[in-house]
Amino acid sequence: MREGEMSTKEKIIQVSLELFANQGYHKTSINQIARAIGVSKSLIYNYFESKDQLLLHIIEDFMERNMAKLPGGSIQNLNSVDDLIDYLRVIKEDAKSQPAYYRLLIMLTLQGTVKDKLMADILEKQQKLLPQIHAFFEKNHVPNPQIATYVFGAILDGIILHFLYMEEKYPIDEVFEFYASRLQSFLKS
């Protein structure tokens, strides 16, 4: 395979991600994915046994990529406020370069039946992040680390959500830097 050329599996994943993110999981069929790629439906089933498995693969891959961007793959390896802000910058750039992943995750969290059916394992992994962030805030002597953890997540989610909603019209870099400077001041005080 030439450099820059996607494998069939990568095409399936990329097209599925875009379709799931743009028209919704329930409204996207394996037939639509196959037509968009120009392959047979049965070829997709050679790689993924179901649409559910395809979606789980996309989400697990996304989470693994984000965890891999952390030092040692864990929030526990962030040693300073600067480390946390550097990681957040990486997430911001990822949201800018891969908005379909973030749009898909937001859509899925708002679709109760999908969340309950497919997201249980993913949400469990994500829930493990909260205690790690809480521990980071405790280690850095942040007042009321439990509430700070929720506020931290809400603001970060809000920045990404606004960016996804407004796209080019949203000054994500400026908003993020404003948030990062306030977060840094708050955490270092």
The tens digit of pLDDT for each residue in 13-56 reads 999 999 999 988 889 999 999 999 999 999 999 999 999 899 98
Residue ranges per structural domain of the chain: 52-188
Scanning 24-144, the segments in alpha helix (DSSP H) are: 30-37, 41-47, 51-68, 81-97, 99-110, 112-118, 120-127, 129-139
Q: How confident is the model at residue 4 (pLDDT cuts 50, 70, 90)?
A: low
Q: Tell which CATH architecture fits domain 52-188.
A: Orthogonal Bundle (1.10)
Residue 26 pLDDT: 85
Task: Report d(CA 68, CA 91) in Å as an integer.
Answer: 11
pLDDT at 116 over 80: no
pLDDT of residue 65: 86
Q: Give which of 168, 134, 170 is closest to 153, Cα–Cα.
A: 134
pLDDT in tens, 127-159: 677 888 888 889 888 888 999 888 998 999 999
List CB contacts of 187: < 8 A, sequence separation 6 or more.
81, 84, 137, 140, 142
| Selected residue with higher pLDDT from 85 and 128 | 85
Does an H or E element contain 142, and which? none
Predicted structure pTM score? 0.80
On the question of pLDDT at 66 being above 60, the answer is yes
Which residue type sits at 5? E
